[in-house]
Amino acid sequence: MRELTVNLGERSYPVLVGPGARHELSAVVPGRSTRAAIVTQAGVGIEVDAGVEQRTFLVDEGEKAKSMSTVEELCSGFSEFGLTRADIVVAVGGGVVTDVAGFAAAVYHRGVAVVHVATTLLGQVDAAIGGKTGVNLPEGKNLVGAFWQPVAVICDTEVLSTLPPREYRSGLGEMAKYAFLGVPGLAEMGLEEAVAACVECKARTVAGDERETGAGGRALLNYGHTLAHALETTGNYDLRHGEAVAVGLVFAARLARQLGRIGDERVAEHYRVVLGYDLPSSLPPGADPATLLAVMGRDKKVTGNGLTFVLDGPVGLEVVQGVPEEAVLATLAELQKGHELPN
């Protein structure tokens, strides 16, 4: 068992990583809590024991669960259960569950404690850590939410063996991102070591820029996500989040080359990482560049200075504002044609 820390002063919290970590849940529940609302999905199937009176609340599967109506239903259920500000919400599941349960915890009684028990690889390496919560609107992903740090995160690597192969591979899409955020050699690490390395990287980044207000900082964790979120918003392309991120990583590399920020070899490195995890690297059939461009213009990183992307460059990843539409459309056209690994 590995214990890492997200260092936020008085609000610092542990992240437990290793097989069987879920059995430590009762040890991280605050002593004042007498009730725990367990938020999960029927398909998760992971039992937890908070050590206090608990009731389970189910949310729907998939992105459709990330809605204001789900948050309202959860809060009504919490009230009926008698959950107080002294009690706790426990999110058991992947990124959808931790996002929506975390947001419900943030707004119920103006904030109750939450523990995330991440049961997917994507959740363990990224979504459950850092306090970002939120739900979607028809106009885009995660446009309504709050920063609400958990009191603990539990990453039980034992439960990852129950994931369907495609769900596990989706988590590898988020893991691939960390290869460009300063975590080398992930593909050669064992599972527990790789999860812990990603957690350590994210914890360090969050500690330095908790609310994404720095010049770069936490925003760099969105690498590959601008196109990914647009793909998830604009159509039914049968893409899991990590698969969309993988396409977004390749797009971002090609866009950086289009702008003269990197060369062919760095683009090729993106392909090697993405294809090494058996992830997609081109736009899905039927994707419309003009529609994707419009949605990317509404991305939450945009601050009024035009299209904004996290892009690779001579000094590594940076937030780049004012990217010309022509360059974005040209890069989307490359991906649409299915250009493969550069020579």
pLDDT, one tens digit per residue, over 69-111 is: 999 999 999 999 999 999 999 999 999 999 999 999 999 999 9
- The CATH code belonging to domain 223-336 is 1.20.1090.10
- Annotation: CATH topology of 2-176: Rossmann fold (3.40.50)
Query: Residue 255, Cα to own-chain centre: how many angstroms?
Result: 22
Look at residue 245 and tell me whether its pLDDT is greater than 80.
yes
The reported pLDDT for the residue numbered 337 is 79
* Domain residue limits, the chain: 2-176, 223-336
User: What burial letters (b/e) apply to 203-221, b meaning 16+ CB within 10 Å?
Assistant: bebbbebbebeeeebbbbb
Decide if 55 contacts 89 (C-beta within 8 A).
Answer: no
- Which of 140, 180, 137, 63 lies closest to 301, judged by CA? 140
Task: Work out the number of other CB atoms within 10 angstroms of the CB of residue 270.
Answer: 27
Per CATH, 2-176 and 223-336 having the same topology is answered no
How far apart are alpha carbons 279 and 58 in whole angstroms?
30
Q: Which position has the higher pLDDT, 204 or 141?
A: 204
Residue 146 belongs to what H/E stretch?
strand 140-147
pTM over 0.85: yes
Q: What is the DSSP letter of 284?
A: P
Angle between helices 289-296 and 225-234 (to 10 degrees): 120
Average pLDDT (119-124) is 97
Average pLDDT (166-192) is 95
Confidence of residue 321 (pLDDT cuts 50, 70, 90): very high
Token pair for 76: 């009504």
Mean pLDDT score of the chain? 94
Which CA distances in Å does 226 have to 39, 192, 338? Answer: 28, 29, 19
Residue at 305: amino acid letter: N
**Helix and strand element counts for the chain (H, E):** 11, 11
Average pLDDT (169-181) is 96
The reported pLDDT for the residue numbered 343 is 44
SS3 state of residue 268: helix
Task: Work out the number of other CB atoms within 10 angstroms of the CB of residue 184.
Answer: 11
Task: Work out the number of other CB atoms within 10 angstroms of the CB of residue 98.
Answer: 28
Task: Work out the number of other CB atoms within 10 angstroms of the CB of residue 168.
Answer: 16
Confidence of residue 140 (pLDDT cuts 50, 70, 90): confident
Tokens 């649409």 belong to residue: 336
Phi-psi region of 310 (alpha: psi -120 to 50; beta: other; left: phi over 0): beta
**CA atoms in the 13 A half-sphere facing the CB of 5:** 6
- Which of 76, 149, 160, 68 lies closest to 119, judged by CA? 160
Look at residue 262 and tell me whether its pLDDT is greater than 70.
yes
Decide if 301 contacts 323 (C-beta within 8 A).
Answer: no
Angle at 88 between CA 83 and CA 93, to 5 degrees: 115
- Which of 327, 331, 287 lies closest to 306, judged by CA? 327
φ/ψ of 103, rounded to 5, equals: -70, -45
How far apart are alpha carbons 104 and 133 in whole angstroms?
9
Decide if 194 contacts 211 (C-beta within 8 A).
Answer: no
